[in-house]
Amino acid sequence: MAWFKKARKPMGSATAEKPSRVPEGLWVKCPGCAQVLYNKDLESNLHVCPKCAHHFRIGATERLRILFDEGRWTEHHTGLASTDPLHFTDTKAYRDRLRATIDATGMTDAVVVATGRLEGLDVVVAAMEYAFIGGSMGVVVGEKITRAIEIGVDRRQPVIVVSSSGGARMMEGVLSLMQMAKISAALARLDRARVPFISVLTDPTTGGVTASFAMLGDLNIAEPKALIGFAGPRVIEQTIKQKLPDGFQRSEFLLEHGMLDLIVDRREMKAVLARLLRLLGAAPAPVEPPVEMATAVEADQR
């Protein structure tokens, strides 16, 4: 009989007295292939798994950093914020939900409108933020995207909208649904001005966003395996009482059925967008001469 027993603790377990020496947030498990990835490596690969090419969701700011030259852009219409027009309350007051989300994200709503250069081309980009109430489209999102399109009309600069949204924001009722027609009308004006519009659909793009501007691009481009549709697959199955095909509402399924023009890996997105914009007639931004050269030219003219 043993004189004593040694209590065994699970290997690697952390306690309050002896916390883990491995900092949190250094590693992430890929939902596509279950590989454990070092976060720094994932960031350097634009948040695409190097093993299986699973595209992790990224925020609007990171999206702009990827697309704009040198990660530089000018943001527009930063002061717009929802005023809770319907005084909506569900499990909590919409006003409180908005305040909490603004504090958590540092954004005033679910889209960022910016201008800058993409491989030397002047462009207007509206990038949606899924972390802000599911990227839902309310009055402010509709207004900001409409204003982004109007910038494109006024400056004759191509417009790119990167969608990542659960659809219209139910807390704003019919006012959110109005944005579908409002943005579509602005896109009609952009089309009459013969200025290109490219729609980039990422995971997920659903509801009223899909039913309006996300599918109205001169070219509709999606990231691999992005969920794209109006109602979700679970809702459709429950409604029609049938099993849906494999991959239903994913990018590849939509491309096969003629709903998309291209599927582009995020690591190639910037180069592909630049090439397509040139094919659509976008001209390079004028190169500003150095100060000394400009002074010499002015002296010659005098």
Q: Compute the chain's Rg from CA coordinates.
A: 24
The closest of 223, 188, 183, 228 to 210, measured between CA atoms, is 228
CA distances from 192 to 31, 60, 187, 188, 189 (A): 43, 28, 9, 6, 5
Task: Specify the pLDDT at position 72.
Answer: 97
Task: Specify the pLDDT at position 165.
Answer: 97
Tell me how far apart the alpha carbons of residues 13 and 87 are, in angstroms, rounded to a whole number: 48
Task: Specify the pLDDT at position 295.
Answer: 45
> What are the beta bridge partners of residue 128?
111
Which residue do the tokens 């990038």 mark?
127
Tell me how far apart the alpha carbons of residues 25 and 252 are, in angstroms, rounded to a whole number: 32
Task: Specify the pLDDT at position 290.
Answer: 56
Task: Specify the pLDDT at position 285.
Answer: 77
CB neighbours of 262 closer than 8 A, spacing ≥ 6? Answer: 219, 220, 221, 222, 255, 272
Structure tokens at 165: 């949204």
Every domain of the chain and the residues it spans: 26-56, 58-281
Task: Specify the pLDDT at position 25.
Answer: 75
Task: Specify the pLDDT at position 8.
Answer: 62
Task: Specify the pLDDT at position 21.
Answer: 56
Structure tokens at 166: 């659960």
58-281 CATH fold: 2-enoyl-CoA Hydratase; Chain A, domain 1 (3.90.226)
pTM, rounded to two decimals: 0.87
pLDDT tens-place values along the chain, 302 residues long: 555 566 665 555 455 455 555 466 799 999 999 999 999 999 999 999 999 999 999 999 999 999 999 999 999 999 999 989 999 999 999 999 999 999 999 999 999 999 999 999 999 999 999 999 999 999 999 999 999 999 999 999 999 999 999 999 999 999 999 999 999 999 999 999 999 999 999 999 999 999 999 999 999 999 999 999 999 888 899 999 999 999 999 999 999 999 999 999 999 999 999 999 999 998 887 776 654 544 444 544 55
Residue type, 281: G
